[in-house]
Every structure is written in structure tokens, then in C-alpha cells.
Amino acid sequence: MMMRLVALALAAAFTTANSGHNSSQPFNAVLLDTPLPMALSDLTATRVGEVVYIAGGCNSDTGNTFLDTIGEFVCDSIADTLYRFDPSTETFTQLASLPVGRYRHAAAATEGIYLVLLGGRDLNDDLIGTVDVCCCLIEINGTA
């Protein structure tokens, strides 16, 4: 099954944040047919400038699996990847690996150039207590 990046939520966030859009009024959204580089859940998608950074997530073929023994859903494969998505060209670029693979985490953009990844869970489903700061202008080959 081909995964699609749904721009509806991103369009809502961009419109509300950038133009003072009243969230009770309808807006036009675009649905892109661009497949994700890999199937992911529990990831973050954060806008920095005109691109979106997709960090981490559960990349297990079975997704989150319910374990009766602990009564919770867990993931048996976690991505340590960071992708940049450019909506204008509908392309993904894989950037350097994250210092720590994580899912169910939070992310924020600061100063328009940094991506901050906070918390989440590791492969053992333990809480991650570190904060990773990624500079979004450096690609895997070191060029901007």
C-alpha cells in the first residue's frame, strides 16, 4: 500500500500560524500523492521555512503491536532517520541519521534553522530523556 503525505494538517497549521486565519472558517488544502520513503507511524513532521522535516517514528512492518503481558502497544523497529520534504518539488531527501532512534516524541523548530527533538520512546519502550538539536541547513553530504 502506498503511503501518502497528507498536507491537510500542515495546510491548517500554516494558514493559522501565518495569516491569522480563523480556524472556524474553511480553507483549501492540497492532498499530495507523494509516498513516504518508508512506512512510518508515531513520527514528527515539523515545518522549518518552506520545507518539512520528518524525524524518527515506528517503522515496523506490523506497526505498533499490542502486548498482552504489559497491556500496551509497542513498536519493534524504530527509525533513526531524518528526512526533508520539499512540497514545491514533492521530494524527500534523507539527511544524517538521528543520534537516537525515537518514536512518540515531540519536535519544534527554533530560529527557523534548528529542529529540536524531545522525549519519546526507545526500542525497549523506555522514555528518552535527551534532547537532540539538528541544524536543518546541513544535508548528509555537507552542502546546504
Q: What CA–CA distances, in Å, run from 140 to 54, 133, 134, 137?
A: 15, 15, 12, 10
CB 58 within 8 A of CB 92: no
Q: Which domain holds residue 56?
A: 37-135
Name the pTM for this structure: 0.73
Residues 61 and 112 in one domain: yes
Number of DSSP helices (H) and strands (E) in the chain, helices first: 1, 9
Across 48-72, b (16+ Cβ under 10 Å) vs e yields beebbbbbbbbbbeeebeeeeeeee
pLDDT in tens, the chain (144 residues): 333 333 323 333 333 344 444 555 555 667 778 888 999 999 999 988 888 999 999 999 888 889 899 898 889 999 999 999 999 999 999 998 999 999 999 999 887 778 899 999 999 889 999 999 987 654 434 444
Query: Are residues 62 and 102 both part of a single domain?
Result: yes
140 within some domain: no
